[in-house]
Amino acid sequence: MSAIRTTAKCTLVLGALLILPFVSSGQESHIGKLNGHAGTGRELYFRYCWGCHGFHGDGNGENAPYLNILPRNFVAATFKCRSTPTGTLPTDKDLFNSLVRGFNNTNMPSWITLTDQNRADLVAFIKTFSPRWKTDKAGDPITVPAEPKLTMESIKHGQELFQKLECWKCHGQEGRGDGPSASTLTDSNDQPIRPYNFAAGSRFKCGSTNEDLYKIFLTGVDGTPMPSFGDVVKPEEAWDLVHFLRTLQVNHKSPELALWESTKEGAEQVASRRIKGTATGSGIQQ
């Protein structure tokens, strides 16, 4: 009898502990027609997320010490993938999309297995960790003008911008993430971080479409060394850069790469950058 009572008491205390820090969280999220509720999101969070993101949402979960790119700290409310300008809060839709997509090259998986409602609820709950969600509004999403037609001029101009804006200082002249400053980079958690290697990867952290790439220039990746070029590039220039960056992805088929390879200069360059050899490693040349 007393054992049962003790267990009941323990459960009560534990329950109270779980609920207490978030009693006042009436936070909601709105993604299109979906309305997420923090109350439901809390249950999901303590089932799927807290192992890495931690009890307090500070990215200090049980698994955190074993992860290379540390889990997001929701208390700091600095988010990488946004459609909003640098330094502003992301929209609910941005957070929702991050849950759908997951983060390539990190331990954050895609949560495509959850329902849309589940993800909306999680977004609402994530917004209870930082007081900034009460004091600040999400930034105004940047406008992405229609993509201009792909031309060689566009690629060439993108190439000039890659030099002029000094993208190569980190990403390297061939986009391999080996520029002169690359080895010194750290993120805002003081952890070493690598610039994106265009030659090797095909997926980007914040989505892989041309539009996603465009947004990266204008919003920056907050919490990392990648700055925002929002004040310094014009929309058409950003599109030129997108077109050029696709030609650095020598192992990823794209209309941009095809066009670039159709010229003599481009074909030679791409051929020289592709890895040749066998999968086992014998005869590999770069």
Partner 1 sequence: MRVKAGYLAGLATLAVCAVIVHAMPSGGTVSGKVTYEGTPAKQKPIDMSKEPSCAKQHATPITTETVVTGSNNTLDNVVVYVSAGVPDENAPGQVVKFEQKGCQYIPHVLAFQVNQTLEISNADQTSHNIHPLPKVNREWNKSQPPGSAPISEKYDKPEFIPVKCNIHPWMHGNFAVMKNSHYAVTQGEGGFSLANLPPGKYTITAWHESYGDQSQDVTISGSETKTVNFVFKAKPY
Q: What residue ranges bind partner 1 (CB under 8 A)?
A: 76-78, 85-88, 132, 136, 164-166, 169-170, 180-181, 184-185, 188, 220, 222-232
Which region holds residue 161: left if phi is over 0, alpha if psi is between -120 and 50, else beta?
alpha
Nearer to partner 1, 36 or 177 (CB): 177
63 phi and psi, to 5 degrees? -85, -15
In a 3-state reduction of DSSP, which class is residue 192? Answer: strand
Q: Is 10 left (phi over 0), alpha (psi -120 to 50) or beta?
A: alpha
**Rounded least distance, CB 92 to partner 1, Å:** 18
- Cα separations in angstroms, 118 against 12, 34, 89, 100: 26, 10, 21, 11
Min dist. Cβ of residue 231 to partner 1 (A): 7
Residue pointed to by tokens 């006042």: 24
Nearest to 226 by CA among 36, 25, 111, 80: 80
Nearer to partner 1 by C-beta: 51 or 131? 131
Q: Which one, 98 or 118, has the nearer CB to partner 1? A: 98
Closest to partner 1 by CB, 154 vs 224, is 224
CB of 101 to partner 1, least distance (A): 22
Handedness of CA 19, 138, 35, 123 (dihedral sign): negative
Closer of 42 and 82 to partner 1 (Cβ): 82
Judged by CB, which is closer to partner 1: 159, or 224?
Answer: 224
DSSP assignments along 133-183, one per residue: HHHSPBPPPPP-PPPPPP-HHHHHHHHHHHHHTTTHHHH-TTSSS--TTGG
Among residues 87 and 109, whose Cβ is nearest to partner 1?
87
Q: In the bound complex, what is the minimum distance in angstroms from residue 167's beta carbon to partner 1?
A: 9
- For the CB of residue 260, give the shortest distance to partner 1 in the complex, in Å: 25
| Cβ at position 123, least distance to partner 1 in Å | 19
Q: Which is nearer to partner 1, 166 or 265 (CB)?
A: 166
Report whether 137 contacts 89 (CB < 8 A): yes
Give the shortest CB-157-to-partner 1 separation in angstroms: 15
4: exposed, middle or buried (Cβ count in 10 Å: 0-12, 13-18, 19+): exposed
Least Å from the CB of residue 12 to partner 1: 36
Query: Which one, of 151, 134, 156, lies nearest residue 269 by Cα?
Result: 156
